[in-house]
Amino acid sequence: MTDQITLRAPDDWHLHLRDGDALERTVGDAARQFRRAIVMPNLVPPVVDAEDAVSYRLRICEQIPAGSPFEPLMVIYLTDRTDAEVIRQAQAAGVVAAKLYPAGATTNSDSGVTDIANIYPALEAMQDCGMKLLLHGEVTSHDIDIFDREQVFIEKILSPVVDDFPDLKIVLEHITTAHAAEFVQKARDGVGATITAHHLLYNRNHMLVGGIRPHYYCLPILKRGYHQSALIEAATSGNPKFFLGTDSAPHMRGKKETACGCAGCYTAYSAMELYAEVFDRAGALDRLEAFASEFGPDFYDLPRNEGSITLVRKPWALPQSLEMGGEELVPLAAGETLNWQLV
Ligand SMILES: NC(=O)N[C@@H](CC(=O)O)C(=O)O
Ligand SMILES: [Zn+2]
Ligand SMILES: [Zn+2]
């Protein structure tokens, strides 16, 4: 039995750091686990252009613990008004990607795109300058069942975009279904996907059997066990199209444990430990490094990190709650025992 693994330093290709008082917690946790992170732009108001991204980056950098090499990679939020000029300026300012939130699809997506046709000029500019397109892949029509929204998004929106922009690099974020895994696997080069720890560890039974567990509620919502198995298969397959993105998304305890709770799971506190659990159970610990530390930078045309992290098999219990900006934050798997620990 392997009791210790050392990996090239990993990156998180999908992370919510929020802003203001939250940053001390979120940046500190991320910096302990990862070397770089793709920082989601769904603030209120969202990060929509170069200027927003540059100032948000400075606020994040102020909270990086002394001596940490952590580097935030910035993303802008596509709106119906994002044009080619906005894209070019953002690229010149170091922004690496733009994110499509269909309007109303998830937390803070009210300013999102109402019709994909509205951003075709922006997508053209992104294709030209090598900026990546990141997608929250769910349709929002009221007549589409919440469990089907990812599959319908792939058919109606993603598939045409992949064909219409053959040189655009596209990441379908936080995939949750066998359909998504299969689509990405069969798609042309330049189409990849991130997979969260929670979609690998859980299915909808964990959220709904024996009582409703709001801390497992995220978007896209947890699906059947069959889909969870397909995601585990994809993540541990060694296919470079699938790489790590936690989608760690903090909401205060009171916003989760309530009559109408927010979507999002806070996993940044123990991200690599959670992924190690999944890969260990699947007998694929030897594939964790590629998934966490190699396929992401390769996809983004960035160098792989120097340096390493070590995980040891040493059971420990996650705290019941954390503090964020003076309030209580419940991490995913609070109070549960994990077998792996980051040294
Ligand atoms: N995943 C979530 O359930 N929530 C994310 C938004 C997102 O990534 O869709 C959030 O910002 O809270
Ligand atoms: Zn999302
Ligand atoms: Zn997210």
Which contiguous run of DSSP H or E holds residue 180? Answer: helix 178-186
Angle at 230 between CA 192 and CA 281, to 5 degrees: 105
Using 50, 70 and 90 to split pLDDT, how confident is the model at 281? very high
Out of 15, 16, 109, mutate this one to test ligand 1's pocket (max ligand atoms within 8 Å of CB): namely 16
13 Cα–ligand 3 center, Å: 10
108: pLDDT strictly greater than 90: no
When pLDDT is cut at 50, 70 and 90, the band that residue 71 belongs to is very high
Residues 6+ away with beta carbon under 8 Å from 133 = 97, 98, 100, 123, 126, 161, 165, 168, 169, 170, 171
Is the pLDDT at 252 greater than 90, yes or no? yes
Sheet with 337-342: list strands edge to edge.
Answer: 4-8, 308-317, 337-342
DSSP state of 248: B
Q: Return the pLDDT at 244.
A: 98
Compute the distance between CA of residue 162 and CA of residue 133 in angstroms, rounded to an integer: 10
Q: Omega into 220 within 30° of 0, i.e. cis? A: yes
Q: Quick check: helix, strand or coil at residue 147?
A: helix
Mean pLDDT in residue range 274-294: 98
Ligand 3 center–CA 1 separation, angstroms: 35
Report the candidate in 189, 208, 191 with the shortest Cα–Cα distance to residue 147: 208
pTM: 0.98
Tell me if 90 sits within 8 A of 49, measured CB to CB: yes
pLDDT band at 160 (very low <50, low <70, confident <90, very high): very high
Q: What is the residue with the minimal CA distance to atom 9 of ligand 1? A: 106
108 appears as a binding residue in the annotation:
no
Task: Tell me the torsion sign for CA atoms 54, 60, 66, 68.
Answer: negative
Q: What is the pLDDT of residue 106?
A: 85
Q: How far apart are CA 65 and CA 206, in angstroms?
A: 35
Q: State yes or no: pLDDT of 1 exceeds 90.
A: no
* Residue type for position 246: T
Tell me the residue ranges of DSSP E strands in 95-247. Answer: 97-100, 132-135, 170-172, 191-195, 242-244
Q: Residue 201 in contact with residue 278, Cβ under 8 Å?
A: yes
What is the rounded average pLDDT of the residues 216-221? 98
- CA 36 – CA 17 distance, rounded (Å): 12
Output the pLDDT for position 241: 98
Cβ contact 172:135 at 8 Å: yes
Q: Which of 39, 42, 176, 262 to mutate to test the pocket of ligand 1 (most atoms within 8 A of CB)?
A: 42
- Nearest-atom number in ligand 1 for the CA of 42 is 11
Ligand 1 pocket by C-beta < 6 Å: which residues?
A: 16, 42, 106-107, 136, 218-219, 247, 249, 263-264
Tell me what the pLDDT averaged over the chain comes to: 97
Sign of the torsion formed by the C-alpha atoms of 24, 97, 301 and 240: positive
User: How much is the pLDDT for 167?
Assistant: 98
Phi-psi region for residue 210, left (φ > 0), alpha (ψ -120 to 50) or beta?
Answer: left
DSSP secondary structure code for residue 87 in this structure = H
Q: What residues are annotated to the active site?
A: 247
The ipTM assigned to this model is 0.98
**Residue 89 — φ and ψ, nearest 5°?**
-65, -40
Distance in Å, CA 174 to ligand 2 centroid: 7
